[in-house]
Chain A
């Protein structure tokens, strides 16, 4: 990992609404500059996407944005980010995605011109490459469609460019189900890192070319999969917490390659990103329960610069269409955050303490997001010489903190969970910090029918 020091060295300075390196959008939103904005994400209810339906789909997206902006205006919102996370058909046929962005951006511009209401679109093409098994991460024609959408979508109005890339996921999923820590580290810290290095060079190049902002990536397909499986009681929460820490070095690669932030909402590891790199982050908590359950509803907001709902279907609720309803919920949360920011650092720290302490002792995944724990773990991470060593250092520190909190009765746990701490620690200890040694070891045991090593430069 290129970072050897923390951008934020003290938990006192790890705040919500402020990042050492704020990002200014084309319509003037300053993210991480002393304001928390809502980030609204939405998806279609069950609909086929093809040439016969695209016109009505575009109209639906326009209607969603208009409804949210109108509500934002009524609520005196300071600004809104709309995340347009494409569905596969919209990336496979970039014309569809571009048309939707263009139409949404026209509405955004209209509200900006007429009402002075700033909003931006974060364009997040889905990673199509996983449609091929094993995926061809570097040579697939599907990568061309993704990059075309980034390129044309940026011109059409996507101001922030992001992705939830999936390099390494073909090994990760089975490794997670069996809680095989070595394979998890291999997928995240070797395959994931290498894929991110390749992909983010290209995304940064596109965003620089068009004067747009390269936002960031998340380990959604990895650490959030772990979180959701832990919520279902399929895997231990302690494993999910460990996976979250291990995912940091992978997500950080986007910043190393030139991304500026804000990092994407579904990366709860974003708080580590903020501490290490100083970039602003989007986070999601209780208002993302429409998309997935989590044990992080309040604490996720403790260091947020954007506050998101992850995704909601465009369905009618009693009050209004769901995206409009969720915009209102996000806006009220943002108001509360911004009220604390107005009150100065002591008020921010008070709100942050309440957000953190209301969650952190119920679940290890929440515990490792508490600001002072984040700083302690991040400090250990940056001491490593390789991505693997950084990740393992962080995970070991996280386990130490979790174990201590359990043994002192602060963190709720169970015998069924606790037995995993030692087995995870033992597995992590057996991982060589030298990347080439680790790769050599793993290539002997990982099922090579699942992935193409050349697609990762191995």
Chain B
């Protein structure tokens, strides 16, 4: 069993999606995340065990390598694709409630701003670390965040902005959220924002990079 989980962890770490995928070259022809997850479930392993002892471990290794500048985003994306292939088999268990994710993260680029590269990167890292991610996209009005918070009361909200002229819309969004849901946790990120700005607008956490956002969510989930 341990060997199976180790193999699955390696598939996630190195982005081996399925048996047919050519990447990485040294794993060509071997089972990928798709086949191994299916096999693990068929052999009776619990979904939460597969998630916590293989899939998340693989993504954590990828996240660590990325943070240490040992790999580039495309390699991380391959790992995310492998994770997605594995999660197809896990989905029924999450839907039935027999397995649980670590939490829910609602993310969007604030109103007036169309930049989404950073946001997508954060989404990918957080999803890969065992959270459900609700991505509202770009140019998101504050009211949309409120609608989603109502659906996912225990969620954490992430706001992204890349422009000095749109970062002010973060303040409006945070103010509206906190008025209606004073306990709601909101984290922010993006090139023009800072820890100081985070405090000024009464947000809860400023993340300078995707990995710190994961660490923050983990601290809330534990």
Question: Which B residue's beta carbon lies closest to that of A87?
Answer: B165
The segment out of A43-51, A108-116, A251-259, A278-286 that lies at the interface is A43-51
For the complex, is A234 an interface residue (Cβ under 8 Å from B)?
A: yes
Question: Which B residue's beta carbon lies closest to that of A234?
Answer: B73
Q: Quick check: B116 and A173 within 8 Å, CB to CB? A: yes
Q: Quick check: A47 and B165 within 8 Å, CB to CB? A: yes
Q: Quick check: B74 and A178 within 8 Å, CB to CB? A: yes
Q: Quick check: A88 and B112 within 8 Å, CB to CB? A: yes
Instruction: Give the distance to chain A from B113, nearest Cβ to Cβ, in Å.
Output: 9
Contacts of B77 in A (CB 8 A): 177-178
Q: Quick check: A46 and B164 within 8 Å, CB to CB? A: yes
For the complex, is A329 an interface residue (Cβ under 8 Å from B)?
A: no
Instruction: Give the distance to chain A from B190, nearest Cβ to Cβ, in Å.
Output: 13
Residue in A45, A130, A179, A233 whose beta carbon sits within 8 Å of that of B74 in the complex: A179
Contacts of B188 in A (CB 8 A): none
- Tell me the chain B residues, 61-99 only, with Cβ under 8 Å from chain A: 69-74, 77
- Tell me the chain A residues, 114-169 only, with Cβ under 8 Å from chain B: 130-131, 133
Instruction: Give the distance to chain B from A179, nearest Cβ to Cβ, in Å.
Output: 4
Q: Quick check: B137 and A48 within 8 Å, CB to CB? A: no
Binary CB contact string for chain A from 382 to 422 against chain B (1 if under 8 A, 0 otherwise): 00000000000000000000000000000000001000000
Q: Quick check: A236 and B165 within 8 Å, CB to CB? A: no
For the complex, is A339 an interface residue (Cβ under 8 Å from B)?
A: no
Q: Quick check: A48 and B73 within 8 Å, CB to CB? A: no
Contacts of A225 in B (CB 8 A): 117
For the complex, is A229 an interface residue (Cβ under 8 Å from B)?
A: yes
The tally of CB-CB contacts under 8 A between chains A and B is 51
For the complex, is B31 an interface residue (Cβ under 8 Å from A)?
A: no
Q: Quick check: B70 and A46 within 8 Å, CB to CB? A: no
For the complex, is A235 an interface residue (Cβ under 8 Å from B)?
A: yes
Contacts of A46 in B (CB 8 A): 164-165, 167-168
Residue in A48, A133, A177 whose beta carbon sits within 8 Å of that of B138 in the complex: A133
Q: Quick check: B70 and A43 within 8 Å, CB to CB? A: no
Docked complex Cα distance between A270 and B201 (Å): 41
Residue in A43, A133, A177, A236 whose beta carbon sits within 8 Å of that of B164 in the complex: A43
For the complex, is B139 an interface residue (Cβ under 8 Å from A)?
A: yes
Instruction: Give the distance to chain A from B85, nearest Cβ to Cβ, in Å.
Output: 16
Docked complex Cα distance between A425 and B125 (Å): 29
Instruction: Give the distance to chain A from B183, nearest Cβ to Cβ, in Å.
Output: 27
Contacts of B40 in A (CB 8 A): none
Q: Quick check: A177 and B74 within 8 Å, CB to CB? A: yes
For the complex, is B4 an interface residue (Cβ under 8 Å from A)?
A: no
Question: Which A residue's beta carbon lies closest to that of B81?
Answer: A178
Given known A88-B112, A133-B137, contact A235–B74 (CB-CB < 8 A): yes
- Tell me the chain A residues, 162-192 only, with Cβ under 8 Å from chain B: 173-174, 176-179
Question: Which A residue's beta carbon lies closest to that of B77?
Answer: A178
Q: Quick check: B72 and A233 within 8 Å, CB to CB? A: yes
Docked complex Cα distance between A133 and B167 (Å): 21
For the complex, is B114 an interface residue (Cβ under 8 Å from A)?
A: yes
For the complex, is B120 an interface residue (Cβ under 8 Å from A)?
A: yes
Docked complex Cα distance between A240 and B116 (Å): 19
Residue in B69, B117, B168 whose beta carbon sits within 8 Å of that of A177 in the complex: B117
Docked complex Cα distance between A133 and B137 (Å): 10
Q: Quick check: B165 and A131 within 8 Å, CB to CB? A: no
Docked complex Cα distance between A178 and B168 (Å): 31
For the complex, is A313 an interface residue (Cβ under 8 Å from B)?
A: yes
Task: Please list the 10 inter-chain residue pairs (A to B) with the smallest Cβ-Cβ separation, ordered nearest first.
Answer: A179-B74, A234-B73, A233-B69, A46-B168, A178-B77, A178-B74, A46-B164, A87-B165, A235-B72, A130-B114
> What is B's interface to A at a CB cutoff of 8 Å?
69-74, 77, 112, 114, 116-117, 120-121, 137-139, 164-165, 167-168
Q: A178-B73, A179-B74, A416-B70 are in contact. List 8 more A-B contacts (CB 8 A).
A: A46-B167, A131-B139, A177-B117, A178-B74, A179-B72, A229-B117, A234-B73, A236-B72
